[in-house]
């Protein structure tokens, strides 16, 4: 952990840089946000509440868009939190009429997104993606 509550792990090669941040979420849960350059399209949220862990993978682009205006058409929506300046809501539909909403500090989320773009700039994600693993999983190898 750094003095600012973030963890950063550099494993020797640009494709393995990870960024992370842990903070308390409104509603009594902790959130670990992390970013791995070999999976550059995704920001991972691990939600920890009452000893239970839930892992969400959310599009980095969706998070960026949702910082300033409502974004997301499917199971996940991201938007500024109404009536709560400085907060961003991440809403995930878990059933037909049921959803989970995480209210995150905008500044901390923005810091992680900015640092992720320092490692993998927007538009350069495919250059960093772990294609070898994808092709191996498809049986083609590389």
CATH number at residue 67: 2.30.31.20
- Tally of domains in the chain: 1
Please give the model's pTM, rounded to 2 decimal places.
0.74
Domain hosting 18: range is: 6-126
Q: What does each of the 142 residues of the chain score in pLDDT, given as a tens digit? A: 333 333 333 333 333 445 676 767 767 788 888 888 878 888 998 888 888 888 889 999 999 999 999 999 889 999 999 999 999 999 988 877 788 888 888 998 999 999 989 888 887 777 776 677 777 888 865 5
Parallel, antiparallel or unpaired: strands 98-105 and 42-49? unpaired
SS (H, E, C) 50-70: CCEEEEEEEEHHHHHHHCCCC
Q: Is residue 134 part of a domain?
A: no
Q: Is residue 135 part of a domain?
A: no
Q: Which of 85, 125, 77, 130 is nearest to 105 (CA)?
A: 85
Q: Is residue 23 part of a domain?
A: yes
């Amino acid at each position: 952990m750094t003095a600012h509550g973030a963890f950063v792990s550099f494993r020797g090669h640009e494709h393995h840089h990870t960024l992370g941040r842990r903070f308390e979420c409104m509603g009594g849960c902790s959130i670990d946000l992390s970013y791995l350059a070999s999976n550059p399209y995704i920001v991972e949220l691990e939600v920890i509440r009452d000893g239970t862990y839930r892992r969400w993978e959310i599009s980095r682009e969706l998070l960026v868009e949702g910082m300033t205006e409502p974004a997301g058409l499917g199971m996940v929506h991201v938007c500024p939190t109404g009536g709560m300046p400085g907060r961003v809501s991440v809403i995930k539909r878990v059933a037909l009429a049921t959803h989970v909403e995480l209210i995150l500090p905008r500044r901390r989320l923005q810091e992680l997104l900015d640092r992720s773009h320092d490692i993998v700039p927007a538009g350069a994600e495919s250059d960093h993606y772990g294609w070898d693993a994808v092709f191996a999983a498809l049986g083609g190898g590389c």
